Structure 1
Amino acid sequence: MSKNIIVSGASGGLGKDVVNKLAGGENNLYVTFGSKKVDTFQDLENVTSQVVDLTDQDAAMNFVNATIEKAGTIQAGIFLAGGYAPGNLHATDDALLEKMFNINFFTAFHLVKPLMKHFETTGGGQFIFIGARPALEADQGKGNFAYALSKSLVFKMAEFINSEGKSKNITATVIVPSTIDTPMNREAMPDADFSKWVSGTDIAENIAFVLSESGAKLRETVLKVYNNG
């Protein structure tokens, strides 16, 4: 069964894999880009792309409302927008915290609010978030304090959504990858064992399963896609 799906952060390496996977399933995708619109998906008729500043609450809400008007109903939201910054507690200041919170939390939260309201009026829906291992494991998070802290908010938001949506057929899933095999990560860590990393296509497959008829029956789901990393 095809679905109308909002996908944020579609221009990144993971975004491209997710969009290509879900578009192949005949879903209708409404995707956002950050600073500029790229033509990566121009050949996919079922993908509509738009530049949206998701750190702007009004811009995000207007995007969701316009998408609902165009699509009729939305069945799922997938939140891929985000960013990374290193630095332990001592190297972290308010500016870095604000940057990470904006990129990793508010870009999702600003879409969640209007979508939650929509799901409540249409009989349900799915939220799928990308978490981070450092937000779950302190030994990994201590070296990227602001990043890990911002991602920890994503897990809590998913918990609150699952609690509030329990009787409304509204669910939130968090996909937690270890290091994702992207050109940027390979360039940053050229001596790493890439075979232990997780590919974007593997994450896309997991997202597709969560959206499937069987996957939609999952509840309070946190999927750790760590491979051997």
Structure 2
Amino acid sequence: MPYDESYKNDPDFAFEPIPGLPEALPPGERVLWQGRPQTLALARASMGLSWIAGYFVFLAGLRVAASSATMGWLGALPLAIPFLVLGVICCAIVLLIARVQARATLYTITTDRVAMRIGAALTLTLNLPFKRIASADMTDAPGGTGTIVFKTLGDTRLGYMVLWPHVRPWHMRHVQPAMRCIPDAASVADILGQAAETRISQPEIARRAPQAMAAE
């Protein structure tokens, strides 16, 4: 999957030398992939959109059922309207928050690291060099998207609320940053795996090269 050049024209990233990154890349480092969460999938996976919609539908049904004995089903149906309207408003608010979060986010994979430009109100960029990543796991997310979760090495301290919703849910003691609800996650995981393997093996190759030249 090639680097998407369209982010260069996005006004949200106009102040950055490279969209999604706070500074220019060092010589030899290249951007391999960039993407952002899918809005509807993010709202469902991290903000409980489906549960909120189901809750108000349940309340509406409960109100109709409770009144149907005295008013009849047809007479009780209008009583569900206030609950359904309130549910639509709440779901619209959640979708708006998810849209703002997705719009402000840009995930980047380079030849050396993963960078996560996140935050709608307070913007920050989380840099995860491949050497600081213990493992990366992919899980399915709503709408055919996927989430890639990172386990970090050492004493890396990350704030759950600072990174939310770009974290593995409910893992607050050992926070695991995540690229949430990205389209074509399997292809992204392949790019990530190949880049990490290449980068981590480079020191070994560099160390062996002088030995091979000496042997010759």
Instruction: Normalising by structure 1, report the TM-score.
Output: 0.24
Which structure features the higher share of helix residues?
A: 2
Structure with max Cα Rg: 2
